Amino acid sequence: MTSTTFPTRTTSFTAAAGVALLALTGCVSLSPGESQVNSNSSSAEAERANHDQPGASLTHPVEDGEVIAHMLDARETLETLRTEMVMTFELDALWAAQDQRLEMTTEGAEDFSEALISGTVAEDGEVLESFEAYVQDGQAISNTDGAGWEQDLDMEPEESEDDSRYSRVAQGIGELEQLLEVDFDGAYRLSYRGSDREVFDAFEAPFSLTLDGYEPEDTEMTVDVAVDPETFYVEEFSFTLHTKDSAGPISLGMEIGAEYSQFNEIPALEIPEDVLEEAYGSQE
């Protein structure tokens, strides 16, 4: 699992993206030439198309509660998408300063069961690691820093509630219905500013957040969400957390941003044969 930890003399602040767990662990038990194509994908996509625009027949803007309800219902129609995510973590203290950044793009299944993943990890502006991975059936083959494709048998990801798949982020947004302000400018804009514990709790599991040495009330948090009025899919998501100036001698900050697109448009995963051959060797 890719995680970022900020050790200090009095506290630590950690965060992990569940999708990075899949990117950096596991293996794909496939052989060169083995087909990844789902023959039923075309008919399934056609069927989903009939349900992907629940807002087309509505008069906008709808009531605030309807926006949340439709957004949560829309999760049931989502199978594939593209996610571009950026996570930054900052620490500023008299004895240490640190700035870490994870950038990651995934294309594939909403639950990460099948995906192409790529990304970089940087610290203080310097890229420390780059990675690519193909994930399928709960396993992956990966290429780190261009060193070549290989199996990684350290861990096989398991079903859990602490991964950052779209549906769990949407669920977290839904849990904040009573705290969110909703505006409409052609898209629904959901926003929050404050220090309510419920906000931290809503995204604690999806992003594996821990905040040791401080309480959510010691922080200032923001949430900004853009929801498409036709599909009610979340297109943009942002969560930030910064400790208040008076909270202690250490300043901690975190920002998570995600852009979602190509809903139900990602084709079935096909791993190139040269990648499979490099990972597994030629199999005649």
The answer to whether the pTM exceeds 0.85 is no
* Backbone φ and ψ of 142, nearest 5°: -135, 160
In this prediction, residue 208 carries a pLDDT of: 86
Q: How many helical (H) and strand (E) elements, i.e. helices and strands, does the chain have?
A: 6, 14
Taking only the tens place, the pLDDT of each residue in 132-186 is 999 887 778 999 999 999 986 653 455 555 679 999 999 999 999 999 999 999 9
Range with the largest mean pLDDT of 27-36, 146-155, 214-223, 238-247: 214-223
- Helix-strand-coil split of the chain, %, nearest 5: 20, 40, 40
| Helix (H) or strand (E) run with residue 115 in it | strand 114-123
* Residue of 146 and 214 predicted with greater confidence: 146
Gap between the Cα atoms of 45 and 4, Å rounded = 37
CA angle at residue 109 from 103 to 112, to 5 degrees?
60
Domain ranges of the chain: 3-280
What's the 3-state SS for 171-225? HHHHCCCCCCEEEECCCEEEEEEECCHHHHHHHHCCCCCEEECCCHHHEEEEEEE
**Mean pLDDT calculated for residue range 198-226:** 91
Gap between the Cα atoms of 164 and 169, Å rounded = 6
In this prediction, residue 154 carries a pLDDT of: 52
Which pair of tokens denotes residue 148?
Answer: 């070549």
DSSP string, 75-113: GGG--EEEEEEEEEEEEE-SS-EEEEEEEEEEEEETTSS
Q: Find out whether 260 and 237 touch, Cβ atoms under 8 Å.
A: yes
Gap between the Cα atoms of 163 and 206, Å rounded = 5
Gap between the Cα atoms of 160 and 234, Å rounded = 22
Q: Find out whether 224 and 169 touch, Cβ atoms under 8 Å.
A: no
Taking only the tens place, the pLDDT of each residue in 4-49 is 333 332 333 333 333 343 333 222 222 233 333 343 444 455 455 5
